[in-house]
Amino acid sequence: MNPHAGVHDAEVLARRLSCLREWEPPDGGLLLDDASAALDDLAPQDVSGLTRRLQGHLVQLKRIAVEQDDTDPDRQTADLITAAYTLLATPVPSDRRHALGHMRRLGWTVSELLDQLVATRKVRVAA
């Protein structure tokens, strides 16, 4: 009998329980509004506020993508998860023009990851 049997299962369950306790359902309408505002031709007045909201949306979507099941994600989802990790780890530039570019990359990634989660049925509806 393996003395470590069940340890992995307990760790997985503890991690999932922790995620459930921290989880807040995404607001699909706000998420789509924020992604649209980030990708609009006109730059928003409050770039830093929109950037913070997009980061929050991306954290939620990334968590759904990673924690939904134990199987390996498809290539497109894996690439979007990698992009999400990179964007979330990148400091927001202080220069407005570069901060705007960063915000637009966040908006694009939020939009694409949401679309991918809908396509792979990890999220039922987009809004």
Pull the structure tokens for residue 114. 């949401």
DSSP per-residue codes, 31-99: HHHHHHHHHSSSPPS-HHHHHHHHHHHHHHHHHHHHHS-SSPPPHHHHHHHHHHHHHHHSPPPSSHHHH
Classify residue 5: in a domain, yes or no.
Answer: no
pLDDT level of residue 1 (50, 70, 90 thresholds): very low
pLDDT digits (tens, 9 = 90+) for 45-92: 899 999 999 999 999 998 888 876 556 778 898 899 999 999 999 999
pTM for this model (two decimals): 0.76
Residue 101 resides in a domain: yes
Q: Which residue has the higher pLDDT, 27 or 40?
A: 40
d(CA 27, CA 93) in angstroms, rounded, equals 27
Would you say 37 and 85 are in contact if contact means Cβ atoms under 8 Å apart?
no
Residue 73 lies in a domain: yes
Domains in the chain: how many in total?
1
Decide if 14 is inside a domain.
no
Residue numbers of the domain that contains 93: 26-119
